[in-house]
Amino acid sequence: MNSRRQDALDYHGGGRKGKIAVVATKPCRTQADLSLAYTPGVAEPCREIARSPELSYEYTARGNLVAVVSNGTRVLGLGNIGALAGKPVMEGKAVLFKRFADVDVFDLEVNSEKPEDVIRFCQLLEPTVGGINLEDIKTPDCFVIEDTLRKTMSIPVMHDDQHGSAIISGAALLGALEIVGKKIDQVRGVFVGAGAAGMACAGHYLRLGVQRERMLMVDTKGVIYTGRTEGMNPYKARFARKTELRTLTEALRDADVLVGFSAKGAVTPDMLKVMARRPIVFALANPDPEITPEDARGARDDLVIATGRSDYPNQVNNVLGFPFVFRGALDVRARAINEEMKLAATHALAALTREDVPQSVCQAYDVERIQFGPEYIVPKPFDPRVLVWVALAVARAAMETGVARRPVDPEQYRERLERLGTWLMLPSSYSYPPAASAGEPHS
C-alpha cells in the first residue's frame, strides 16, 4: 500500500470516524436549558412556525443548511460505485461548504438509481433544508432530476457537477481570453466530453458570449452533428451542428479553445498542434487530465492551460463556486439559483482574478507573488476574498431577478461577509464559531 493511499485512509478513519459531526449551537447543561431545548419550551417556536412557515428560518437551522444528495451513480473519477461508497465524497463536500462559507450540510445518500426516487426524496426534504446540492448523479438522469426539482421546489437546487464546473471554467475562460487577446464572440470552441459538466459548460459559455455556430461537442463516438443517431439523447441533440467534421482532430483544426471533461489521454500533443495560435486548453478530467501540462507545453509553447488538479497552476476547482453560490442564495433566502446568479458568480471570479493578490494568499501557497497572467487565470481557493466577491454577486443577482425573499443591504452584507471570511481564515475555524462570528451574519 503506497503512502499516499494510506494517508488518505488514515485521514478518513483516524480518531472519530469520517469527516463531519453534528454540533449543538445552544447550551444544554442545566434543567432550564433542557426545558428550552426540548419540552416544554420547544413548543413555542413550533407554534410560531405553524402560524407562519417563513419563521422556520428564524427559529431553526434551516436557513444555513444544505442537503448534499447523491445516489453514487457517477462519482468523480470512480464511476457508478453506489450510494454507500460515494458517502466519503459527500462528507467531503460538507467539509468544504463549512470550511469556505460556514454552510452546514447533511450528506444524504439515496439508495436508488431511479430518477423518480431521487426526485421524490428531495421534494420531501424541503421543510428540512434551505437548499439542495445534487452531486455525482449519472447523465442524463441528473438533467431530469434537476429540471424537475427546480420546477417543483421553492428552495435553491443546483447540480454542482454541471453548474459549479460551468461557473469556474467560465471565469477561467474570460481570464484566458484576455491574456491571449481574443474576443469571446469570435473564438472557436471544442468540448471533449458530453456528460453533465461538458453540456452545462457549453450552455454557460453560450450565455457568456460564445457563438453557437462556432462551437462543437465531441463524445466517445466523435463529433455530435445534425442527424447523428448513435449514442444520442435529447440533451446532446441541443449541441448538434451541421458539419462534415467527424473526429476530434478534425474538430480541433484552427480551434481557439479546447474544454475537456472526458478521460485521461483523450487529447494528444499532435491534436494541439493543429489548433489556432495561442490556444486555450482546459484539460479538466479528474483525477488525471486529458493531457498533462508538460505534454501540452511540449507540443505548444504559446498556450494557456488549466486542469482540475491542485499540483498545477490554474486549478479549475468547484470549491471556488458552490460554497459561495449557496452562501449568497441562502442569505437572501432565494427561491432558486437561476442563470443570472451563475453568470454573476463567473464574472465576480473573473474580476477578482485581476485584482492584486494579498501577501497572505501568497504565503498560503508558498510563493512570493501571484498576479494575473498565463498561470493565474482564476483565484486561489484559499483566498478569503472569494467568499465576499462571489456571495455578494450572487445575492445581488438574486435580488435583481426577483428570486430573493429577504433582500439585504449590499454594503452591510459585504461587511458581514468580510467578518465571516476573516474568521474562517483563523486556525480554529473548523470548530463551531462563537456568537456574532458566523452565526450572526446569517441571521
List residues with catalytic annotation.
38, 93
Question: Using CA atoms, how far apart are residues 361 and 370, in angstroms rounded to an integer?
Answer: 8
Torsion angle in degrees (nearest 10) through CA of 122, 125, 129, 133: -10
Cα separations in angstroms, 390 against 78, 170, 295, 363: 30, 14, 34, 22
Q: How many CB atoms lie within 10 A of CB 212?
A: 11
CB 249 within 8 A of CB 230: no
Coil, strand or helix: which one is 414? helix
Q: Please compute Rg for the chain using Cα positions.
A: 22
3-state secondary structure of 132: strand
What is the distance between the alpha carbons of residues 246 and 434, in angstroms, rounded to a whole number?
59
Residue 167 to residue 70: CA distance in whole angstroms: 21
Sign of CA dihedral 336, 339, 341, 345: positive
CA distances from 254 to 53, 84, 193, 279, 302 (A): 57, 45, 19, 9, 14
Separation in Å, CA 413 to CA 327, 396, 408? 11, 10, 6
Nearest-angstrom CA–CA distance, 168 and 378: 8
Q: Which amino acid is at 333?
A: R
List C-alpha distances in Å: 156 to 104, 361, 428, 430.
15, 31, 30, 25
Q: Which long-range contacts (CB under 8 A, 24 or more apart) does 111-116 make?
A: 111/71, 111/82, 111/83, 111/84, 112/71, 112/83, 113/71, 113/73, 113/141, 115/141, 115/144, 115/145, 115/148
What distance in Å separates the CA atoms of residue 118 and residue 114, rounded to the nearest whole number?
7
How far, in Å, CA of 349 to CA of 234, rounded? 32
Cβ burial, residue 407 (10 Å; 0-12/13-18/19+): middle
